[in-house]
Amino acid sequence: MSFSGNENQASPSTTAPTLPFSSSTSPHFQPWEEGETTMCLVVWYSLTMVLGLVGNIGLICIIARRREKVNVTGIFICNLSFSDILVCVFCLPFTVIYTLMDHWVFGSLLCRLVPFIQCASVTVSVLSLVFIALERHQLIINPSGWKPSISQAYMVVVLIWILASFTSSPFLAFQLLTSEPYNVTMSQPPLHHQAPSQAYLNASPPQPYNTYKNSSALSNSYHTLFSYAPASPHMEACLEHWPSQQHRLAYTTWLLLFQYCGPLLLVLLCYVRVFVRLRHRKDMLDRARTPESHSMTHSRRINIMLVALITAFALCWLPLTIFNVVSDWNQEALPICHHNLLFSLCHLLAMASTCINPIIYGFLNSNFHQEVREVLLHCRCSPVEEGCERFPMSTVHMEVSRTSMPQSNSV
């Protein structure tokens, strides 16, 4: 459907998060937007941003100063952490401010740049997890075959950012600032048939016009999280404006497949094969009672850590992904009265994924504990070897000896 009856104009929607406006006479108005809930959201968003920044910056510093030789997995984890830092810097602050103010105050350049960086950062995160899984799969399933070098890993990182930038480029073309939502006359009936545009995993709740402008004939104000404010033609919203609804749906479907479903399916396949192979090797080593079982324990621990990373990412982003799919294809299925709260909870959980990676890495890598102690104590002396287990993130140096068992490419 078109906006205002123009069949050639697609209905725009917000691409940075904005909560729906509602008048004081709206039967769907809920008091959750007031007082303690508002402060709770601000506190949790702020805490997530601080923890994400501190944790990921610390993780990059710890990996960079490790005494072991730099390895491919470490490079990909640093790339993952860097993308999480960008999410904390370019997603969380703008999300909170735009959500609470209900209008865009950062200008035209940031209107285009912020959603572009948000989408690119999420794409980099998921592609980094994919290449980590592919590297583990190659090292364990085919240890005598090709292994990526450090230079090739850096080339992959560059490729990841190029793909992410290309995938996110429509936001540079189809973002615009407009005051149209604030200028619609109060006599115009709400357009319940409008289908919003939406970029999956881009921290952007889909909002058709009638959900964020006041359509009440009894009031000329809209409701933010803080107070009622008069609608002003000087206020602007940062919206997507696609050539047609078909273009919008094609792009959002592509993002759903490329940013979530496809990568997770590929990662799942890789780790299933890895764990089947490791289980087979463990049984062989147990029967042979060889000393290589200690290396297998280290390998399993690293695999558990990497699986935990992708599982956390999938679970954190699942609610927002479902929310976006439902909003994009069946807006009426979402309860209007709880739309704000539902989106905020889903989005906050997705943003929490930026804090989880350093936590998982720290708990499951004993090297990390020792390195943190050294940094906190400003210790420049060599670490106590008895205090931690020294093993690299990559399995190049910990795989079962190629001569200790028959080589096979089958699982």
Q: What is the pLDDT of residue 196?
A: 39
CA 312 to CA 80: how far, in whole Å? 13
Q: What is the pLDDT of residue 292?
A: 54
Residue 124 belongs to some domain of the structure: yes
Write phi, then psi, for 347 (nearest 5 degrees). Answer: -70, -40
CA 241 to CA 275: how far, in whole Å? 46
Write phi, then psi, for 265 (nearest 5 degrees). Answer: -65, -40
Region for 216 from its dihedrals, namely left if φ exceeds 0, alpha if ψ lies in -120 to 50, beta otherwise: beta
Task: Kindly state the DSSP code that residue 258 receives in the 8-state scheme.
Answer: I
CA 280 to CA 408: how far, in whole Å? 12
Token reading at 118: 């948000």
CA distances (Å), origin 337, targets 28, 33, 129, 341: 5, 11, 37, 9
Residue 46 belongs to some domain of the structure: yes
Q: What is the pLDDT of residue 218?
A: 25
Q: What is the pLDDT of residue 140?
A: 85
Token reading at 208: 């058709």
Residue 334 belongs to some domain of the structure: yes
Nearest to 125 by CA among 264, 269, 273: 264
Q: What is the pLDDT of residue 226?
A: 38
| Residue pair 167/119 in contact by the 8 Å Cβ criterion | yes
Q: What is the pLDDT of residue 338?
A: 66
Residue 410 belongs to some domain of the structure: no
CA 405 to CA 281: how far, in whole Å? 9
Q: Which helix (H) or strand (E) holds 95?
A: helix 92-101
Q: What is the pLDDT of residue 320?
A: 87
Q: What is the pLDDT of residue 390?
A: 44
Residue 306 belongs to some domain of the structure: yes
CA distances (Å), origin 41, targets 94, 106, 197, 319: 14, 21, 25, 17
CA 173 to CA 195: how far, in whole Å? 20
Q: What is the CATH number of the domain that holds 38?
A: 1.20.1070.10
Domain that holds residue 128: 18-397
Nearest to 102 by CA among 400, 340, 334, 353: 340
Pairing of strands 13-14, 237-240: antiparallel
Enumerate residues 6+ apart whose C-beta is below 8 A from 327.
Answer: 196, 198, 205, 206, 334
CA 370 to CA 368: how far, in whole Å? 5
Q: What is the pLDDT of residue 327?
A: 77
Region for 35 from its dihedrals, namely left if φ exceeds 0, alpha if ψ lies in -120 to 50, beta otherwise: left
* Exposed e or buried b per residue across 328-353, where buried means at least 16 C-beta atoms within 10 angstroms of its C-beta: beebeebebeebbbbbbbbbbbbbbb
CA 252 to CA 246: how far, in whole Å? 10
- The number of folded domains in the chain is 1
Cβ neighbours, 10 Å, residue 388:
16
Tell me the average confidence (pLDDT) per consecutive run of 10 residues in the chain, 411 residues long: 36 36 38 64 88 91 74 90 92 80 84 90 92 88 84 95 95 84 51 38 38 27 39 74 85 90 91 84 60 60 80 89 79 66 84 86 68 65 46 42 40 35
Q: Model-level pTM?
A: 0.71
Beta-bridged to residue 179, according to DSSP, are none
Q: What is the pLDDT of residue 395?
A: 42
CA 146 to CA 152: how far, in whole Å? 12
Token reading at 100: 């609470």
| Residue pair 244/156 in contact by the 8 Å Cβ criterion | no
The beta-carbon contacts of 215-221 under 8 Å, at least 24 apart in sequence, are: 215/23, 215/184, 215/186, 215/188, 215/189, 215/190, 216/23, 216/25, 216/26, 216/186, 217/186, 217/187, 218/23, 218/25, 219/23, 219/24, 219/25, 220/186, 221/23, 221/24
Nearest to 362 by CA among 11, 162, 62, 70: 62
Q: Which amino acid is at 232?
A: S
Q: Where are the alpha helices (DSSP H) in 102-244?
A: 107-141, 150-168, 170-174, 180-183, 209-212
Residue 12 belongs to some domain of the structure: no
Exposure on the CB side of residue 277, measured as CA atoms within 13 A? 25
Residue 6 belongs to some domain of the structure: no
Q: Which amino acid is at 396?
A: V
